[in-house]
Amino acid sequence: MNSLTPPVPPIGIISSPYKEKFGIPRQPGLVTAAHATLTLLPPYNQPETVRGLEGFSHVWVIFVFHATQQQGWKPTVRPPRLGGNARMGVFATRSTFRPNPIGLSVAELRGIQVQGNNITLELGGADLLDGTPVLDIKPYLPYADAIPDARAGFAPEAPAAPLSVHFSALSDEQCRQKQTRLNTDVRQLVEQILRQDPRPSYQQGQQEGRVYAMRLYDFDLRWRYTTDGIEVLELADS
């Protein structure tokens, strides 16, 4: 097994709007406008493997952090939630840099498409990079998986999304144009991603005016920080 081989063979592959790591939300459910698809690989691409799954609103997706797996792991990491200053044990975090590079995300199951052996699950709100190998899918069971009074250590609630996002006239128009072609609410997607503030913790609260970019679908999203929050500059085709 070479270092790029997942620990067990994938059963599916993710196609998502997120074409690079930068800008992906740090947990699922934070960017509900993100729509991903999970395509089953042979020999699992049989209608039988998903029989009954349509009755579930959410699924667990178990996957490989394939884009970082070569970087190894350390016993402690600096969670962005703590401003990147404090170190916590790797097993107390959801860091991608783990001894076994395995991720776990809950996603809304928005539909299942079966066309012969082409079987895809439509997923909402996932925090997954395009091309992510999926190891397993399990239905989300509220009676067993939801624990309303659970304690959540240093991450007791969803991170605050304090930034307001303004669209330039150009970017507003570009969102409108891309909406039809991509069949997705691009403006809402951009707004939900940016209000989480994708910058690394150590850059937050500074860098006013600096332009950032991330790759979404087939365009480069560019924005800058202002005294009021974020200004979306353009969605540039390339």
What residues form DSSP beta bridges with 165? 230
Q: How far is CA 103 from CA 38, 65, 67, 195, in A?
A: 15, 6, 12, 24
Closer to ligand SAM by Cβ: residue 39 or 68:
68
CB of 32 to ligand SAM, least distance (A): 15
CB of 101 to ligand SAM, least distance (A): 7
**Does 67 contact ligand SAM by CB under 6 A?**
yes
Closer to ligand SAM by Cβ: residue 16 or 174:
16
Q: Among 24, 30, 121, 134, which residue interacts with ligand SAM (rule: CB under 6 A)?
A: 24
**Does 155 contact ligand SAM by CB under 6 A?**
no
Could you say which residues in the range 121-150 bind ligand SAM, by CB under 6 A? Answer: 127-129, 132
Q: How far is CA 238 from CA 43, 47, 214, 220, 230, in A?
A: 36, 38, 12, 7, 23
d(CA 174, CA 172): 5
| Binding segment (CB under 6 A) for ligand SAM, from list 98-106, 107-115, 145-153, 199-207 | 98-106
Burial class (CB in 10 A: 0-12, 13-18, 19+), 149: exposed
Q: Among 12, 17, 28, 125, which residue interacts with ligand SAM (rule: CB under 6 A)?
A: 28
Q: At what angle do helices 186-195 and 169-182 cross, to 10 degrees?
A: 120
Q: Is 4 helix (H, G, I), strand (E, B) or coil?
A: coil
Which residues in this chain contact ligand SAM in the complex, by CB under 6 A? 21, 24-28, 65-68, 94, 96, 103-105, 127-129, 132
